[in-house]
Structure 1
Amino acid sequence: MTDFTATKRMFHLPEGMTYLDGNSLGPLPLATPQRVGQTLQDEWAEMVITGWNRAEWIHQPARLGDRIGRLIGAPEGTCVVGDTLSIKVFQALAAALALRPDRKVVLSDTGNFPSDLYIAQGLLGALGQDLELRVVAPEEVADHITDEIAVLMLTEVDYRTGRKHDMAALTAKAHGAGAITVWDLAHSAGALPVDVTGAKADFAVGCTYKFLNGGPGAPAFIFVAPQHAMQARPILAGWLGHAAPFAFEAAYRPADGIARMRVGTPPIIQMAALEAALNIWDHVDMNDLRTRSIELSERFIHAVTQACPDLTLASPTDPAQRGSQVSFHFHEGYAAMQAVIARGIIGDFRAPDIMRFGITPLYLDEADIDHAAAQIAEVINSKEWDRPEFKVRAAVT
């Protein structure tokens, strides 16, 4: 049984702040500064370049990949960490397309994160060959999986609304039509139980700075199903994905398995921060996390909808169909969110009109939920949001 009171004590939570934005950036684990300091002082400072061997920096991407793999149902040796999520989406989509060279269509949905769609547009445009990105409404995806589709590329949990796709069912339908699947777990990993093996996903990618609390700029991960590991073609043929990086051969030979999905030099300091964050997950049962997330989400939805008739729930009412976030439509959503933030309740805004709140049981409890709901109600019902300073758009919303 997970002790969420204990996990809350593992984070630095600023005084006077109720943090409901872990779906954008997780807060600082208390152990992170010491772990990063160790990398700076004991490893980089004292070992310098010998840290690649003595501190085993070179093996960190695989080691952390296996730790994330345990959270997403991936077998050992099928997940690796490094680079950014955009690069990992690019790699996975390119490798998936190469497995279906006779097909021309990548299917995605309007709930996918725009960056994933931009990556697909850029890749397909560069490859030519009359490739097409077909984007449909989330609820229409299943109806558009046909034998035209080369790759089904989806984000499991919609970044705006929190709507959750059925990974297993859609993957099964895609496979039945002969397509390959690429799943983005940016809003899933660390938010709810994920089983890429049980769902038979072909590729999966995700970031580590949201629910996994790895810090701003924390590296991404990629999973490749075992049956594709030796066939997946890494379009970014990076030095550290070579079969023998220190042989310095002129021609590229891909490493065996998931190691071929490594590209550039891993971000060692960021990986140290991520390692400290992952230690928290050794104390967490994902099913307990999911149960607690639903309890807190339902409490939040009930409190806000009862007190704020001007807000409309944008997330699914059925908790089984949601990730670990709750979103509301409001015609002045940006200004309202700024007013809420000014009261110490941290959520965020997503265009065109969504107020979004991450429900993260590792460091939120009933008192936090109740306090946040009460503050939101005061802002909305008093029209506190209708002040000029709250309508000035910042660079990051």
Structure 2
Amino acid sequence: MTDFAATKRLFHLPEGIVYLDGNSLGPLPRAAPARLEGTLRDEWGEMLITGWNRAGWMDQPRRTGDRVGRLIGAEAGHVVMGDTLSIKVWQALAAALELRPDRRVILSDSGNFPSDLYMAEGLAGLLDKGHELRVVEPEALAEHITDEVAVALITEVDYRTGRLHDMRALTAKAHAAGALTVWDLAHSAGALPVDLSGAGADFAVGCTYKYLNGGPGAPAFIYVAPRHADHARPALSGWLGHAAPFAFEPRYRAGDGIERMRVGTPPVLALAALDAALDVWDGVDMAALRARSLELTALFIEEVEARCPRLQLVTPRAPDRRGSQVSFRFAEGYAAMQALIARGVIGDFRAPDIMRFGITPLYIDEADIRRAVDVLAEVMEGDLWDDPAYRARAAVT
């Protein structure tokens, strides 16, 4: 039984703030500053360049990858950290397309994160072999998985609405049609149980600064299924994906398995912070986390609908169809969110009119939910959002 009161104490949460934006950036784990200080002082400071060997910096991407892998149902040794999510999408998609050379359709849905679509569009143009990015409505995805499709590129949880795709069913449908899958876990890793191995996923990618609390700019991860790991070609032939980086050979030779998906130098400091954040998960049962998430999201939906009738729910009501966020539509959603933030309730906004609230049981409890709804009701009932100061758009929404 996971003690969520105990996990909440493992995070620094500013006094007077209800933080409902962990689906965008997780809060600071209390252990992270000391871990970073130790890495800076005892490793970089005292070991200098010898830290690559003595402190194990070179192996960090695999070690930390296995820790993330445990949370997403990956086989040991098949997740590696590094680079950004967009780069990992590009790597996975390029490798998958090469495994299906006779097909030209990349299938995705309109709920996918736009940068995934940008990467797919750019890759198709670069290959210049007639590939087509075909984007359909989320509900129609399964019916469009045909024998034309090379790869289905799917974000498991819709970043705007919180809608949850059925990974197992869609992967099975893709395989039956001879297609491969690339799953983006940006809004599911650390938010709900994921079983890549059990679902038969081919490739998966994700970021670690949201529900995994790795910090701003924390490195991304990539998963390659064992059946593909030794022959999926890394289109980005990076130095550290080479079979023998320090042999300095003039020609590229791909490393074994997941190692070939490494590109550049490991971000040592960022991985140290992430490693500290992952310590929190050592005592967390993912089934318990999911159960608590569904309880809290249901409470939030119930209370907001009862007290804020002008807000329109866009997140699925059915528990098995939503992730760990709740989203409402409101024409003045940006201004309303700024009014909430000014009163100590932090969520975020996604164009054109979506107010998003991340519900993270590691540090959000029922009292937080009720306080957030109290403030939201106050803002909506009094039209407190109707202030020019709240309409001025910041760079990050």
Q: TM-score, normalised by structure 1?
A: 1.00
Q: Which residue of 1 aligns with 2:75?
A: 75
Structure 1, unaligned stretches of length 5 or more? none
What secondary structure, in the 3-state scheme, does the structure 1 residue paired with 2:196 have?
coil
What secondary structure, in the 3-state scheme, does the structure 1 residue paired with 2:357 have?
strand
Deviation (angstroms), 1:178: 0.2
Q: Which residue of 2 aligns with 1:290?
A: 290
Q: How does 1:4-23 map to 2 (within 5 A)?
A: 4-23=4-23
- 1:139 and 1:155 mapped to 2: Cα distance? 13
Give the aligned length: 397
Q: Which residue of 1 aligns with 2:186?
A: 186
Structure 2, unaligned stretches of length 5 or more? none
- 1:373 and 1:128 mapped to 2: Cα distance? 51
- 1:208 and 1:297 mapped to 2: Cα distance? 22
Give, as a single letter, the amino acid of the residue that structure 1 aligns with 2:224: V
Q: How does 1:78-89 map to 2 (within 5 A)?
A: 78-89=78-89
Deviation (angstroms), 1:319: 1.4
What secondary structure, in the 3-state scheme, does the structure 2 residue paired with 1:153 have?
strand
- Structure 1 residue ranges, 4+ long, deviating more than 6 angstroms after superposition: none
Give, as a single letter, the amino acid of the residue that structure 2 aligns with 1:307: R
Q: Which residue of 2 aligns with 1:141?
A: 141
What secondary structure, in the 3-state scheme, does the structure 2 residue paired with 1:361 have?
coil
CA deviations 1:181-217 (Å, max 9, x no partner) are: 0000000000000000011000000000000000000
What secondary structure, in the 3-state scheme, does the structure 2 residue paired with 1:198 have?
helix
CA deviations 1:219-241 (Å, max 9, x no partner) are: 00000000000111000000000
What secondary structure, in the 3-state scheme, does the structure 1 residue paired with 2:197 have?
coil
- 1:231 and 1:275 mapped to 2: Cα distance? 29
What secondary structure, in the 3-state scheme, does the structure 2 residue paired with 1:272 have?
helix
Give, as a single letter, the amino acid of the residue that structure 2 aligns with 1:136: V
Deviation (angstroms), 1:381: 1.1
Give, as a single letter, the amino acid of the residue that structure 2 aligns with 1:315: T
- 2:389 and 2:377 mapped to 1: Cα distance? 19
Give, as a single letter, the amino acid of the residue that structure 1 aligns with 2:155: T
Give, as a single letter, the amino acid of the residue that structure 1 aligns with 2:95: A
Give, as a single letter, the amino acid of the residue that structure 1 aligns with 2:252: Y
Q: Which residue of 1 aligns with 2:274?
A: 274
- 2:353 and 2:361 mapped to 1: Cα distance? 26
- 1:356 and 1:328 mapped to 2: Cα distance? 7
Q: Which residue of 2 aligns with 1:91?
A: 91
Give, as a single letter, the amino acid of the residue that structure 2 aligns with 1:2: T
Give, as a single letter, the amino acid of the residue that structure 2 aligns with 1:84: T
CA deviations 1:117-161 (Å, max 9, x no partner) are: 000011110001111000000000001000000000000000000
- 2:84 and 2:49 mapped to 1: Cα distance? 24
- 2:133 and 2:231 mapped to 1: Cα distance? 23
- 2:336 and 2:387 mapped to 1: Cα distance? 10
Deviation (angstroms), 1:170: 0.3
1:318 partnered with 2:314:
no
1:381 partnered with 2:386:
no
1:44 partnered with 2:44:
yes
- 1:168 and 1:128 mapped to 2: Cα distance? 32
What is the root-mean-square deviation in Å for CA atoms of aligned residues? 0.4
Give, as a single letter, the amino acid of the residue that structure 1 aligns with 2:338: Q
- 1:121 and 1:37 mapped to 2: Cα distance? 41
Give, as a single letter, the amino acid of the residue that structure 2 aligns with 1:270: A
Give % identity. Answer: 72
Q: Which residue of 2 aligns with 1:214?
A: 214
Q: How does 1:234-249 map to 2 (within 5 A)?
A: 234-249=234-249
- 2:73 and 2:331 mapped to 1: Cα distance? 40
- 1:36 and 1:195 mapped to 2: Cα distance? 31
Q: Which residue of 2 aligns with 1:363?
A: 363
CA deviations 1:258-280 (Å, max 9, x no partner) are: 00000000100000000000000
Q: How does 1:116-195 map to 2 (within 5 A)?
A: 116-195=116-195
Q: TM-score, normalised by structure 2?
A: 1.00
Q: Which residue of 1 aligns with 2:391?
A: 391
- 1:340 and 1:314 mapped to 2: Cα distance? 19
Give, as a single letter, the amino acid of the residue that structure 1 aligns with 2:111: G
Deviation (angstroms), 1:45: 0.7
- 1:339 and 1:60 mapped to 2: Cα distance? 42
CA deviations 1:290-338 (Å, max 9, x no partner) are: 0000000001110100000100001001111000000000010000000
